Amino acid sequence: MNGTLKVGDSLPSVRSMSKRWGCAPGTVQRAYRELTLQGLISTQVGQGTRVASPAVTQTTLRRATLVNRVEAFLLEMMAAGYTPKETEEATRDVLARWQSRFGDPEAPPKKLLRFVGSHDPIISLIDGRFPDLAPDYELSVTFVGSMGGLMALARQGADIAGCHLWDADSNCYNEPFITRMLPGRRVAMLTLAHRRLGLIVFPGNPLQIHDLPDLTKPNIRFINRQTGAGTRLWLDMRCQQLGVNPAFIQGYEEEVKTHLQVAGAVAEGQADVGLGVEAAALAYGLDFVLQTTERYDLVITEEAWAMPGVQTLVQWLKSAEAHKAITDLGGYDITETGQMVWVN
C-alpha cells in the first residue's frame, strides 16, 4: 500500500497482504473490517474489496457491515461444529418466527406474556415454539435466576417465573420460597420437569473431577453461576454441608448467567469444570458427573393461569410431542411434567 490507490481500485487479498506485512491473516481481516466500518472500502461477493467512492460509502456501507457481521457469525457457528446448511436452516426458522411476530404492521397487537426466572434449555424450546402454539401471544423471556424470577412476580414484573430453589431445611424445592416471597398470594406451581444437575467436564474427565471437594484441587479452574440462581444456591448450600470452603475453589467468583454459558466456557477451555444441567453438557459434547436431581417449576400468577395462551402451553407440556422434544434434550425426567398444584 503506497497511497496511490484510487476510488474503485481493488485491494490485495487478505493472504497477499498478510505476506506483504508479515502478519497473521486475522490482523488483515480486522484492518479491512475497520476500514469497511469507516466507509473507506467495500466488499462485494465476486468483486473483491475495493476503495469506496462517496456514493458507495452512502449506499453500501450498511449492507457491507451486515455482510461482515453475518460472515463472522457463520464462522463462529462452523467453529462450534455446525454446518452451513444447519446454520442456514436455523436462521430461516428464526426469521420466520420474527416475521410471524412483527411482520404485519396491520395486525392487532399481541397479548404479552412475561417469563422471568432461571435458565433452562426447555424454556428456550418453548420460546421457539410459542408463536405456533399461541399465535395471539408474544412470549418475553428474561433469564435472571430463580430468586430474580420470584422477585419479579412479587413486584408484578412477570406473569411466569421459572425456579428450582432447594430448601435445605425441608429438603424440597420451590414451595418454601414461594410461601416466603409471595405471602398470601395464590399462584399455580406447574412442574416443567425433573432435571439432572452435575459437574460439566472435558470429555474423558482427564482431571478426575467427581464431586464438590475435588473443586478445591490445585490448578482446577471453576466457572460459577450468578448469585440468585437456583444452581448457585444449591452449590452454596451443598458446599456448606460438605465443609467445602469456596475460598479454595479457583474461579468461584467467575459468574455466568446460563447453563449453556457454563458448558461453553468449559468447551472453549476457559474453565475445567462448571455446575450445570446435563442437557447443556450434551449440547457441547462434554462429559457430565451427576450430583443431584432437581425439580424445575413454572410459578404462574392466578391471572396468567386463566389466559388461553397459558392453558395451551399447559396442554402442550402434557402432549407426546412435548415429551419427546424434552426427552431429546437429554437429562430430564418427564414423569411429573405438566402437573400443577396451587400454593398459598
84-102 helix and 121-133 helix, angle to the nearest 10 degrees: 50
pLDDT score, position 78: 74
14-78 CATH, one of 2.30.30, 1.25.40, 2.60.40, 1.10.10? 1.10.10
Question: CB count, 10 Å around CB of 176?
Answer: 16
Residue in 59, 61, 41 with CA at minimum distance from that of residue 51: 41
63, HSE (Cβ side, Cα atoms, 13 Å): 9
Sequential pLDDT tens for the chain (344 residues): 445 566 667 777 767 776 777 666 666 666 666 666 555 666 654 556 776 655 444 444 556 556 667 776 777 777 777 887 888 888 888 888 777 666 655 566 789 999 999 999 999 999 999 999 999 999 999 998 899 999 999 999 999 999 999 998 999 999 999 999 999 999 999 999 999 999 999 999 999 999 999 999 999 999 999 998 899 999 999 999 999 999 999 999 999 999 999 999 999 999 999 999 999 999 999 999 999 999 999 999 999 999 999 999 999 999 999 999 999 999 999 999 999 999 98
> How far, in Å, CA of 190 to CA of 162, rounded?
10
pLDDT score, position 60: 47
Longest dimension (CA), the chain: 77
Residue in 343, 4, 9, 6 with CA at minimum distance from that of residue 174: 343
pLDDT score, position 45: 47
pLDDT digits (tens, 9 = 90+) for 270-302: 999 999 999 999 999 999 999 999 999 999 999
pLDDT score, position 122: 95
Domain residue limits, the chain: 14-78, 110-343
In CATH terms, are 14-78 and 110-343 the same topology? Answer: no
- Say if pTM beats, i.e. exceeds, 0.75: no
> How far, in Å, CA of 263 to CA of 284, rounded?
7
pLDDT score, position 32: 65
pLDDT score, position 146: 92
Residue 9 near residue 19 (C-beta atoms within 8 A) = no
Domain range 110-343, CATH architecture: 3-Layer(aba) Sandwich (3.40)
pLDDT score, position 76: 75
pLDDT score, position 58: 45
**Which amino acid is residue 321, in one-letter code?**
E
> How far, in Å, CA of 266 to CA of 286, rounded?
8
